Amino acid sequence: MENYHIDGGVPLRGEYRVRGAKNSALPVLAATVCRGAAYEIYDCPRIGDVFAMEEILRSLGAKTKWEKDCILVDSRGIDRFAVPERLMAEMRSSVFLMGSLLARSGEAVIHRPGGCNIGKRPIDIHMDGLEQLGFHVEAEGERISCKGFCSGGKITLPYPSVGATENLMMAALAGNGDTIIQNCAIEPEIADLQGFLRTAGFQVFGAGTDTIFIKGAGRGQKAAGSDVMYFLLEDRIEAATYMTAVLGTGGRAVFRNIRAELMKEVLRCFERMGAMVRNYENVIEVWSAGRLKSPGMIVTQPYPGFPTDCQPQLMTLCSAAKGLTTVREEIFESRFTHRKDLVKMGADIETCGKNAIIKGVRSLKGAETEALDLRGGAALVIAGLMAEGKTVVRNAFHVQRGYEDLDASLRALGGIIETKREKET
């Protein structure tokens, strides 16, 4: 078991280049299945979830290879349509293979996906949408099988689910007709998936709005050109995580390869807290002078609202800010799992249902903590950097699922953190 060991109280300073987005990399990698071709995907983060998706692709018959930050995927040899249950259990985003396999072969067998333990995240919207597109879907226990042909038409999602939007976009690619999906999620990562699909030769329009149009291309077509090259969108959640760590430690840093337009609500929250934010083309600088103040209320919402994936980190920042903060979690039902360890470190946080009430304390104290999920684990690392004394964050693998070389990146900014392999206690 790997654990983070942190000596807190050191302001983070310097520069950081934001990597490609985890939440773009996973659906884009799944989309390489849609058409057999050789793909070069650049600025791809080397993280646990990407490695898990890579293993799934290889299990289906694809070949993969890394060259620095570029993953090469040759999907021409894919000849299987069932994702092994063991691999599905490791990562929720493996559900994207349902749509891409249907686009490729008209058949897909998956199992209910794993991932972070942050509450119920049913895939009913995915399944209902596939049935509306003309596929036959059967669920037996944890096993889900889909087959058939996409008949196209117009469907309306009951909720703007990011995963369902992306899955249905891919499933509709091989349709005999055109498909219109309404009430779509509008996250930037969905527009990035559209960008990849268009680079691969498909006709998809409207991503980034609530209506997406997919022109059915039929099955078995080759991708445009010999190789498909694509550069991933930058990771707005990674950027927000490191910015929070900088502000929490009273530091100052410049972040490159990140556009302010992708994270408006997070930056507004920082400014409400008294932090200084300066942005220009693909660069954002943040710093704090003195103790931050409460931003008032934070409510998580689908994009362009405040992202749920930043809520745990901001809760940590608010735990040492002056005043009372209310956090309302509207996306997931169990996303306050980090609260227990923050309280252990001296934070004053009460939770009731969807709400967390945070009374800012002067400082946090180092403690033994345990990461239970990806973003909650990142929040505890930030707390350790902010705290007085030593902090241990156990189960670093949760954090490594979504952050490449977190410890080395924080050390480059001046943080005192190392990863140690230790026996479970």
Residue pLDDT, tens place only, 274-310: 999 999 999 999 999 899 999 999 999 999 999 999 9
Active site residues: 116
What's this model's pTM, rounded to 2 decimal places? 0.95
For 296, the 3-state DSSP assignment is coil
- What are the sequence ranges of the domains in the chain? 2-19+235-421, 22-231
Q: Domain 22-231: give its CATH code.
A: 3.65.10.10
331 marked as binding residue: yes
92 marked as binding residue: yes
How many Å apart are CA 405 and CA 19, to the nearest integer?
Answer: 11
Examine domains 2-19+235-421 and 22-231 and report if their fold is the same. Answer: yes
How many Å apart are CA 357 and CA 10, to the nearest integer?
Answer: 27
For residue 225, what is the enclosing H or E element? none
pLDDT of residue 219: 67
355 marked as binding residue: no
Average pLDDT across the chain, whole number: 94
Q: Which pLDDT band holds residue 367 (cuts at 50, 70, 90)?
A: very high
74 marked as binding residue: no
Under CATH, which architecture does the 2-19+235-421 domain have?
Answer: Alpha-beta prism (3.65)
pLDDT in tens, 75-116: 999 999 999 988 887 776 788 899 999 999 999 999 887 544
Q: Which pLDDT band holds residue 221 (cuts at 50, 70, 90)?
A: low
pLDDT of residue 118: 42
